[in-house]
Structure 1
Amino acid sequence: MTQIRIKRVYEAPDAADGYRVLVDRLWPRGIKKEHLKSDVWEKDITPSAKLRKWFHENTTEHWEDFANIYRTELEGSDAVRQFMERIKTYDTVTLLYASKDPIRNHARILQQFLSAHMA
């Protein structure tokens, strides 16, 4: 079974990270593409642009609704199904995100979703 981890893109890579996947729709600030140690950039499994923009208007008040809407987006996503199929051969997959908030971020929701659906 694939273990799904999350990690900020600004943290140093580690061999234990396994397959490293950038899961932000926008490129992380302050990081040159040649310096980010990732295996793939998966923009299509991130929250829709409209949802992301709405969430960032007020992350505290919008968190619960954001999480529910994003889970619904994930459920209906062909890109997510294809991604799960591609990563099932890896022991460890680390989802890389740029958010400063380690709790209220889409990578945590994605981690929970993938872990539940790949079990």
Structure 2
Amino acid sequence: MTTTPSIHLARVYDNLDDVRGARLLVDRVWPRGVTKSELALDDWIREVAPSTALRKWFAHDVEKWEIFQRRYRAELDGRNEPVSRCLDWCRRGEVVLLFGARDRIHNQAVVLREYLCERLAAR
């Protein structure tokens, strides 16, 4: 029996001292006011983030959340290399998807975690 590794979420502005697992930044742009040493990243997979057009359209408007999720998943379906990089990390062990958005419930990392979990389970 195989178990699916845990995929956690953390905001880059949180205290990350107790964060366990490979740290993957999944934002397209570097978060303001945060240094590379503070994040201690294992990988920055910016290509897995929503396109600039989708990100700007969504603008963290909760009313657009359902449509954003569908559009972002469609983008992920077409991004084999960055999705594969994320999946490779997940297969090795615990992973933390780091994001900069203020909203912890309505952001791309939430969608990405669900997407990766589905892909891992389908294997």
State the TM-score, normalizing by the size of structure 1: 0.88
- Superposed displacement of residue 78, structure 1: 1.3
> What is aligned with 2:14?
11
Identity of aligned residues (%): 38
Report if aligned partners of 2:6, 2:93 keep a CA contact under 8 Å in 1.
yes
- Taking the aligned partners of 1:25 and 1:65, their CA distance within structure 2 comes to 20
User: Cα 1:29–1:110, aligned 2, differ >3 Å: closer, same or farther?
Assistant: same
What value does the CA root-mean-square deviation take over the aligned residues?
1.7
> What is aligned with 1:111?
113
User: Cα 1:85–1:61, aligned 2, differ >3 Å: closer, same or farther?
Assistant: closer
Moved over 3 A (4+): none
- Superposed displacement of residue 15, structure 1: 5.5
> What is aligned with 1:60?
62
Instruction: Give structure 2 stretches of 5+ with no counterpart.
Output: none
Q: In the comparison of the two structures, how many residue pairs are matched?
A: 118
Moved more, 77-86 or 61-70: 77-86
Q: Deviations over 1:62-97 (max 9, x none)?
A: 111111100111122112442145214422011000
Matches within 5 A, 1:61-80: 61-80=63-82
State the TM-score, normalizing by the size of structure 2: 0.86
Instruction: Give structure 1 stretches of 5+ with no counterpart.
Output: none
Q: Which amino acid aligns with 2:92?
A: Y
Report if aligned partners of 1:19, 1:39 keep a CA contact under 8 Å in 2.
yes
